[in-house]
Amino acid sequence: MKSLTEYLWFETPQRRELVRLTDTVTALVRKSGIQEGMVLVSAMHITAGVFVNDDEPGLHEDIWEWLQHLAPAGPDYRHHRTGEDNGDAHLKSLLVHHQVIIPITGGKLDLGPWQQVFYAEFDGQRRKRVIVKVMGE
What are the sequence ranges of the domains in the chain? 2-74+84-136
Closest CA to 122 of 94, 95, 90, 78: 90
Instruction: Identify the band that residue 71 occupies on the pLDDT scale cut at 50, 70 and 90.
Output: very high
pLDDT in tens, 53-67: 999 999 999 999 999
3-state secondary structure of 6: strand
Instruction: Identify the band that residue 104 occupies on the pLDDT scale cut at 50, 70 and 90.
Output: very high
pTM of the model: 0.95
Is 2-74+84-136 a CATH 2.60.120.460 domain? yes
